[in-house]
Amino acid sequence: MSAPSPAARAGTDRASAPTAREGGNLAAVVGVLPHWSARDVPGILSFYDPEITWRNRALAEEYRGHGEVAGFLRSLFAAFPDLTFDVARQIASDDLVAEEWVMRGTHRGPFLGVPATGRLIEIRGLSMIEMRDGRFLTDDFCFDAAGVMRQLGLLPSLAAARSRPGLALIGLVVGLQRAGRRLARRPRAAPEEAA
């Protein structure tokens, strides 16, 4: 686990130091990091407002309140029992904190519906956090889901996808999808009445 430098926490593009409120919000966001890397769910939740809402943009999911967030965390930590969480940059503006982060861990349990692969996975992402009274109120986050799927072995590399066989396979899949949509739009004949 590593915390961003003071310059990163203050925002390198700022002409002035963070306000007291921004400094307090940054301190809370940095303070939760050891709990993430220790996979300490109660410790993480202690930094979250009871009305916390997480919006996982990559998976089109939303988790409301400590119970749902804890459920997601437990499933994440079960999938990656050695998970670490590092932050590269953070910038605060009033009650908003933006951060760039990376999680790393060995895929030892189901994740995204994929059984354990034993592979070391790196998940890079961004969060826009709204704070209330020094605690996380909302966290809208996204991560490179396609990159994670490639690391899990479920998507080919971009080089493979751009190769002649890769492009042929993509063309075939797109053609099958189009044909399926055309068939789905056709009106269905009414069943004949029994005589």
DSSP string, the chain: --PPPHHHHH-TT-SSPPPHHHHHHHHHHHHTHHHHHTT-HHHHHTTEEEEEEEEETTTTEEEEHHHHHHHHHHHHHHH-TT-EEEEEEEEEETTEEEEEEEEEEE--S-BTTBPP---EEEEEEEEEEEEETTEEEEEEEEE-HHHHHHHTTSS--HHHHHSHHHHHHHHHHHHHHHHHHHHHHSPPPPPPPP-
What pLDDT shows up at residue 168? 84
Q: Count other C-beta atoms under 10 Å from residue 145's C-beta.
A: 17
Domain boundaries along the sequence of the chain: 6-153, 156-184
Question: How does pLDDT run along the chain (195 residues), one tens digit per residue?
Answer: 455 544 444 444 555 788 999 999 999 999 999 999 999 999 999 999 999 999 999 989 999 999 999 999 999 999 999 999 999 999 999 999 999 999 999 999 998 888 999 999 999 999 999 999 999 999 999 999 889 989 988 888 778 878 888 888 888 888 888 888 888 888 877 666 555
Rounded Cα–Cα distance for residues 18 and 23 (Å) = 6
CATH number at 6-153: 3.10.450.50
User: Among positive and negative, which fits the CA dihedral 9, 68, 135, 44?
Assistant: negative
Q: Is the distance from CB of 90 to CB of 102 less than 8 angstroms?
A: no
What are the two backbone dihedrals, phi and then psi, of residue 115, each rounded to the nearest 5 degrees? -65, 160
